[in-house]
Chain A
Amino acid sequence: MDTITLAGPLEAKLTAIRAAGFTQAMLNAGDIVGHPGGERAAVAAVRASGLRVTGFQVLRDFEGLSGHLHAYKVDVAKAMLELCRALGSPVLLACSSVSAHATGDPDSSIRDLRKLAMLALPLGIRIAYEALSWGRYVSRLDQAWQIVQQADRSNLGLCIDSYHALANPADPGALEDILAPKVFLVQLSDFMWQETRSPEDRIDTARHYRVFPGEGVHSERIAELVRGLDQLGYRGDYSFEVFNDDYRQLPLAMVAGRARRSASWISGVVSRRSLPARRRPASPSALPPKPGAA
């Protein structure tokens, strides 16, 4: 689970995540630096929670800047990497830039992501680069993958977020060309309507109306994605990237319980697919019951 889904103080979030049976948590920077006791107290709370840290998010608009804007972003990245290290987070999530000040020149993006990877390297942190579906120049998975490949750094890989592939009609979300070891993180979420019509609509939906996998209307495509990753050989972490205004005004245990049911649903998707008899094109009947339906 991601702390971003839940309301309340960090300790309460971690306790709810743990109580729902999760063993790890994705940490949102706001939950750490917004701790009333300061970030040291937040780090102590995370360490005391017994939860493994999946990753830390999110570094925005890093690539493609120049001059003082680039220098400023390097400072931001360094501070986030230091927080990452203090938290024991193996991954820093970096989203494709939406900045109007950034250039779309791929060489510039590659150079900057290499630099970010180098900054993270001595600290033992990996950079997971994610294509935001409203990214200015990189808005599809295949574009992010191309940049990651060209940058060719051991600790630079991809974050695949199901929402962006589902919400962006231009993103086929194809996994065939992607190498499993270069996928550093997978974030899953669904939403309640069939289409998002514009980038503004995608942003609005992404920030307020996501739901857990199995709760929305794109279960089949999420199941396909998870099975595709499984077949690709991906054995890394999955995290629920669910921004939802309703969930942030509901009791934490209830929301974490919904996440738990979603996790069971995902496990069913993969384990059923792993059976040889099930290895055929996915059909709705191959899906396990939706959370709450059983």
Chain B
Amino acid sequence: MVPMSVDERLPEPANPLGLDGLEFVEYATSQPQAFGTLLEQMGFAALARHRSREVLLYRQGTMNVIVNSHEAGSASPVISAMALRVRDAAFAHRHCLELGAWDMPTRASAMELHIPGIHGAGDSLIYFVDRYTDFSIYDVDFVPLASAPRQPPALAGLHWFGVVQTILNERTADWLDFYRTLFGFTALPEGKSFGILPKGTLLESPCRRFYLQLVEPPPGADEVHWEEGLLRVGLGAPDVPQATAALQKRGIVFIDRGALHPTDKGALSQVYLGGVTFELVVSRP
């Protein structure tokens, strides 16, 4: 008899929606060109344009970024949505509404895919996507740009690591309830952290493919403007110094001041366009 490994004996965390990673992260900005240039410096390539709205698709490796300038209110790019890969988007949507999530208004025009979604933190949305294997949502709603690569490779093995969410004081338990109840996220034990910004509470997706980091305002931050929303993305890199060097060569500046500086564990970019930062975290896809 072959003894079971430790991993096999551990129960899989419940994954009610068949979550399978992040399909895309959407930014809203009224400065799509400036932000597009920044994304290209980060290693993304522009791939396609939405059929009916001022929306562009960027990609590198397995990461898709949507830049939405349709009725965008803010010049500074803000993360307006994250799309979760799920087994069945309609089921995921229904399941979340039954548990008390708020539905989002449909935005699809004629002949476009309706991507179901719910309201998340602040003004952000959470979409559900189940077409990511044999054909993709982008095949329907987007027109490829001339001479754009189909599959731009990832720079230095970059991949989605997670999303950082700011929350108000004493709201960690609430948001933990939200992500646990709707999707099956679990909180990592206190003290377990990744990267160079070990703040707040880390939640692991039930597919174990990405993390959410909930960050309450730091103590004594009464003067700081702090609201709930999706703050920044974390990009996983197998070799952070190599990724940092590659990005620095492309003009990305990393914060190197006092306690905050690039290490083997991670790095944080400077603030771009009035509010955008990228965090690198050591991780293998």
Contacts and interface: CB of A to CB of B under 8 A. Distances in A.
Contacts of B171: 124
Contacts of B246: none
Identify the interface centre among A114, A116, A122: most chain B CB within 10 Å of its CB: A122
Contact of A124 (B101, B168, B176): B168
Given A124-B168, A155-B174, A155-B177, A117 B228 contact: no
B99 A122 contact: no
Contact of A116 (B100, B121, B175, B182): B100
A114 B96 CA distance: 12
B176 A122 contact: no
Contacts of A124: 168, 171, 174, 228
A235 interface: no
Interface string A186-227: 000000000000000000000000000000000000000000
B181 A122 contact: no
B119 interface: yes
A154 B181 contact: no
Nearest to B119: A122
A154 B99 contact: no
A115 B171 CA distance: 18
A72 to B, nearest CB: 15
A114 B100 CA distance: 8
A286 interface: no
Interface in A117-173: 117-119, 121-122, 124, 153-155
Contacts of A119: 100, 102
B90 to A, nearest CB: 18
A116 B120 CA distance: 16
Nearest to B124: A122
Interface in B44-72: none
Interface of B: 98-102, 119-121, 168, 171, 173-178, 181-182, 228
11 contacts: A114-B99, A114-B100, A115-B99, A117-B177, A118-B101, A118-B177, A121-B100, A121-B177, A122-B119, A153-B177, A154-B176
Given A122-B102, A122-B121, A155-B177, 7 more contacts: A118-B100, A118-B101, A118-B181, A119-B102, A121-B100, A122-B120, A124-B228
